[in-house]
Amino acid sequence: MLVLSRRVGETIRIGDSISVTVSRITGNSTVRLSIEAPKHVPIARSPKTAAGRPDAQEAG
Protein backbone atom coordinates (compact mmCIF):
# COMPACT_ATOMS: atom_id res chain seq x y z
CA MET A 1 0.00 0.00 0.00
CA LEU A 2 1.20 3.48 -0.86
CA VAL A 3 0.24 6.30 1.52
CA LEU A 4 0.54 9.88 0.28
CA SER A 5 -0.16 13.27 1.80
CA ARG A 6 -1.76 15.90 -0.42
CA ARG A 7 -3.22 19.35 0.13
CA VAL A 8 -6.43 20.73 -1.32
CA GLY A 9 -6.02 21.18 -5.07
CA GLU A 10 -3.17 18.69 -5.41
CA THR A 11 -3.56 15.72 -7.74
CA ILE A 12 -2.29 12.16 -7.82
CA ARG A 13 -1.98 10.47 -11.23
CA ILE A 14 -2.51 6.73 -11.66
CA GLY A 15 -1.20 5.64 -15.01
CA ASP A 16 -1.96 7.86 -17.98
CA SER A 17 -5.72 8.05 -17.64
CA ILE A 18 -6.71 8.33 -13.95
CA SER A 19 -6.29 11.34 -11.69
CA VAL A 20 -7.42 11.84 -8.09
CA THR A 21 -7.62 15.42 -6.78
CA VAL A 22 -8.20 16.52 -3.18
CA SER A 23 -11.23 18.81 -3.54
CA ARG A 24 -11.99 19.69 0.08
CA ILE A 25 -11.01 18.83 3.65
CA THR A 26 -13.55 19.75 6.32
CA GLY A 27 -13.00 20.45 10.00
CA ASN A 28 -14.26 17.01 11.00
CA SER A 29 -11.51 15.31 8.91
CA THR A 30 -13.78 14.46 5.98
CA VAL A 31 -11.87 14.45 2.70
CA ARG A 32 -13.65 15.03 -0.61
CA LEU A 33 -11.91 13.57 -3.66
CA SER A 34 -12.51 14.21 -7.35
CA ILE A 35 -11.73 11.23 -9.57
CA GLU A 36 -11.27 11.48 -13.33
CA ALA A 37 -11.13 8.19 -15.21
CA PRO A 38 -12.29 6.72 -18.52
CA LYS A 39 -15.89 5.49 -18.51
CA HIS A 40 -14.78 1.85 -18.81
CA VAL A 41 -12.89 2.02 -15.46
CA PRO A 42 -15.17 1.02 -12.57
CA ILE A 43 -14.98 3.23 -9.47
CA ALA A 44 -16.54 1.89 -6.27
CA ARG A 45 -16.61 2.93 -2.63
CA SER A 46 -15.39 0.43 -0.08
CA PRO A 47 -17.70 -0.57 2.80
CA LYS A 48 -17.60 1.65 5.88
CA THR A 49 -17.71 0.75 9.55
CA ALA A 50 -19.75 2.68 12.12
CA ALA A 51 -16.79 5.03 12.59
CA GLY A 52 -16.88 5.92 8.89
CA ARG A 53 -13.62 4.20 8.03
CA PRO A 54 -13.08 1.18 5.76
CA ASP A 55 -13.32 -2.08 7.67
CA ALA A 56 -9.78 -3.07 8.76
CA GLN A 57 -10.46 -6.75 8.12
CA GLU A 58 -11.33 -6.11 4.48
CA ALA A 59 -8.45 -3.68 3.91
CA GLY A 60 -5.89 -6.59 4.07
Looking at per-residue pLDDT, the higher value among 52 and 32 belongs to 32
* DSSP code, position 29: S
CB-count burial class (<10 Å; 0-12, 13-18, 19+) for 57: exposed
For the chain, what is the largest distance between any 2 Cα atoms, rounded to a whole number of angstroms?
Answer: 35
Looking at per-residue pLDDT, the higher value among 48 and 37 belongs to 37
CA 4 centroid distance within chain? 11
CA–CA gap between residue 35 and residue 17 (Å, rounded): 11
% of the chain at pLDDT higher than 70: 78
Parallel, antiparallel or unpaired: strands 31-36 and 11-14: unpaired
Does position 60 have pLDDT exceeding 50, yes or no? no
